[in-house]
Amino acid sequence: MISATANNIFKQVIDDYHQFDQIDQPINNPYDKESLEHLLYMKCWIDTAQWHMEDVVRNPDIDPREGLYWKRRIDRQNQERTDTVEFIDSYYLQKFKDVSSLADAKINTESPAWAIDRLSILALKIYHMEQETLRSDVSNSHLQSCTEKLNILLEQRKDLSQSIDELLADIEAGRKYMKVYKQMKMYNDPNLNPVLYGSQK
């Protein structure tokens, strides 16, 4: 099942990142470049670095110029995240290209890769919430609250994992079919963002 593979890789990525806990630590992807596992590792590494960028930029005492620097890095990182999701969907489009959909096949509300994207973010939420339950400098009520939240996140991962596996099984059997829409993000495109193309005149 892909969810088990993805969850294991996401845990591996998060553990690898936190050996250094540095946003600019170079990625050391151990998987073959042509494999789905390589894409999953890269996807979660991008998410993990962006998670920590988001932490930095939310510092209420941050210098505005530094805040702008991180905002622009987050924008670039988010574009890389989107591109990688689309690479994962391309993998599945190729994998299922010869599947004949049944006459009553239905489309899903999201593609397999965007569901996997949520699973990657969920892995980060679980890791960081678990860290909160291990703190010794907080109240018992904080620990209890975080433990309750962690349990909900773990249940959510179980449900989402099952849904992803069922979606892929349905696509493979022709009960559902893939229809992927590119995200077409406009804010990073100098031809589509009026602030950017307006500055070129």
The per-residue pLDDT for range 98-125, each reduced to its tens digit, is: 999 999 999 998 999 999 999 999 999 9
Supply the pLDDT for residue 80: 96
Least confident piece of the model among 50-54, 106-110, 165-169: 106-110
Average pLDDT over residues 31-54: 98
* Cα–Cα dist 189/50, whole Å: 20
pLDDT confidence bin for 188, thresholds 50/70/90: low
**CA-wise closest residue to 108 among 42, 163, 48:** 163
d(CA 34, CA 26): 20
Answer yes or no: are the C-beta atoms of 163 and 115 closer than 8 Å: yes
Secondary structure (3-state) at 56: helix
Report pLDDT for 185.
58
pLDDT score for 101: 94
Mean pLDDT of the chain: 93
Average pLDDT estimate for 87-103? 95
pTM, whole model, 2 decimals? 0.90
The yes-or-no verdict on residue 179 having pLDDT over 90 is no
The CA distances from residue 144 to 125, 132, 150, 151, 157, in Å, are 17, 10, 10, 11, 20
* pLDDT greater than 80 at residue 197: no
Q: What is the mean pLDDT of residues 44-73?
A: 97
> Which runs of consecutive H residues, i.e. helices, occur in the chain?
2-18, 36-57, 64-95, 112-133, 140-173, 194-198
For residue 191, what pLDDT is reported?
A: 67
Give the per-residue pLDDT at 196. 56
At 118, is the secondary structure helix, strand, or coil?
Answer: helix
The vertex-103 CA angle with 101 and 108, nearest 5°, equals 60
**Residue 187: partners with Cβ closer than 8 Å, 6 or more residues away:** 75, 193
Dihedral sign computed on CA atoms, order 148, 47, 37, 9: negative
* CA quadruple 166, 48, 124, 14: dihedral sign: positive
